[in-house]
Amino acid sequence: GRLFQDIIPNQNMETFQTSLSSGVELELHTEQAFSNLRPDILSLACLRGDHSALTYILPVQAIVENMCEEELAILRKPLWKIGVDLSFKLNGNEFLEGDIRGPFSILRGSSEHPYLVFDQDLTIGITEEAEKMKNKIEKMIIKNFEEIAIKQLEHIEYVMEHDIEVVESVAKNDLVKAA
């Protein structure tokens, strides 16, 4: 609860694959997958209510259930690197860990409570085998994602229990209109 990142669209970045865009569909990603300071709670709020503006969610179980044991073992190996999201590199920010992080594993946690660390745009396989697994996950996204259209003045919160399980919807509340 000590860090709060408020992200709103930036017109100058509307076509970029970043959290500040508004003109492109964002690819599947774990929030701040490049960082060890990933959020514990993700809150999505809608002020205007555009029924065509969809949020896509891919439960980690959709991946786990469609992989054999050998593939799951590969996902648990540190075979990927990841770049830092462009929105964090604005204003010439530099990072102690550099702009490319890793190697890291995509699948973490126990087999009962797995979680995914993945960014479709920024994750890079460091072996041919790793790149094939990334491509397989990308194909699963198309078949298994869930769509959510957040209504005007509604917000959804997800608890991101990194060491226990991936995204679970915990609340759907109406926002209070500002006077």
The residue whose two tokens read 């790149």 is 131
Quote the pLDDT of residue 166: 35
Cα–Cα distance measured from residue 46 to residue 153, given in angstroms and rounded to the nearest whole number: 5
Cβ neighbors of 141 (< 8 A, separation 6 or more) are 28, 56, 58, 120
Instruction: Evaluate whether 45 touches 62 at the Cβ level (below 8 Å).
Output: no
| pLDDT at position 12 over 90 | no
| pLDDT at position 176 over 50 | no
Among the residues of 20-68, which ranges form H helices? Answer: 60-64
Quote the pLDDT of residue 97: 79
Cα–Cα distance measured from residue 30 to residue 119, given in angstroms and rounded to the nearest whole number: 6
Query: Which token pair is 17?
Result: 């694959």
The residue whose two tokens read 């959020």 is 39
Which of 41-45, 87-91, 155-159, 161-165 is predicted with the least confidence, judged by mean pLDDT? 161-165
Give the 3-state secondary structure of residue 42: strand
Confidence band of 171 (pLDDT split at 50, 70, 90): very low
| pLDDT at position 32 over 70 | yes
Confidence band of 77 (pLDDT split at 50, 70, 90): very high
Q: What is the pLDDT of residues 100-123, one digit of tens each?
A: 888 999 998 888 888 888 888 889
Instruction: Evaluate whether 145 touches 56 at the Cβ level (below 8 Å).
Output: yes
Q: DSSP for 112-156?
A: SSEEE--BTTTEEESSHHHHHHHHHHHHHHHHH-EEEEPPTTEEE
Confidence band of 15 (pLDDT split at 50, 70, 90): confident
Best CA proximity match to 114, nearest among 65, 147, 156, 171: 65
Best CA proximity match to 33, nearest among 162, 132, 146, 175: 162
Classify burial at 177, counting beta carbons within 10 Å of its beta carbon; exposed 0-12, middle 13-18, buried 19 or more: exposed
Mean pLDDT across the stretch 25-45? 74
Best CA proximity match to 60, nearest among 141, 171, 120: 141
